[in-house]
Amino acid sequence: MEVTASVIWILRAPYQHPPAERFVGPGACKGCHEKVFAAWSDTRMANSFDVLRPGRAVEQKEIANLDPEADYTQEESCVPCHTTGFGLAGGFRSIEETPEMAGVTCEACHGPGGSYAGVLMSKTSPNFATADARAAGLVYPPTATVCRKCHNEDSPFVQADYTFDFTERVERGTHEHLPLKYRHDGG
């Protein structure tokens, strides 16, 4: 009788919506941000997972005293900075299960899109207020704190004299600084 009661309780349990902090993947951004997506696709950030593969970034791995022929694609000390949302809802699990989350994608810098991408931001409602998207969780513009989660002295690629210069990186750009496709009044 206990088993039956448990089954009935499970069947009557209310539907749980995905958490707002769920990662949704770069495909959710691409539809409205095609030029930014294309510019980002060619960056080292977009392809950062590839340096974890054997035989890739050989010179950099040798400088960092890493075996250039080793496979680091499942190394838990490497994967969080070379993927998006590792270990979090909707984030990277493995290259086989979530290939779209390999690399440093939109949400690595702008926060999990579950609360704003496709909800506030969509082609059917393109004139949202940026302030509303920020209030819902959009990180815009990204801050030095976001970047320093990975660009820090814990990385084996950081030399003793390394200093992450956020201002210089912003000026150089992660992807082309292109005008927004739609108006986003309200700041």
Q: What are the extents of the domains in the chain?
A: 20-172
Q: Report how far Cα 69 is from the mean position of its chain's Cα atoms.
A: 26
pLDDT of residue 92: 97
Across the chain, mean pLDDT equals 80
Architecture of domain 20-172 in this structure: Orthogonal Bundle (1.10)
pLDDT of residue 126: 67
- CA separation for the pair 115, 131 (Å, rounded): 13
- Which of 7-11, 41-45, 101-105 has the least mean pLDDT? 7-11
pLDDT of residue 174: 61
Report the predicted TM-score, pTM, of the whole model to 2 decimal places: 0.79
- CA separation for the pair 155, 56 (Å, rounded): 17
68-117 pLDDT tens trace: 999 999 999 999 999 999 999 999 999 999 999 999 999 999 999 998 88
pLDDT of residue 110: 92
- CA separation for the pair 5, 11 (Å, rounded): 10
Comparing 182 with 24, the larger pLDDT belongs to 24
Q: Are 156 and 65 in contact (CB under 8 A)?
A: yes
104-148 pLDDT tens trace: 999 999 999 998 887 777 767 667 778 888 888 899 888 889 888
pLDDT of residue 19: 54
Q: Determine the 3-state secondary structure of 117 from DSSP.
A: strand
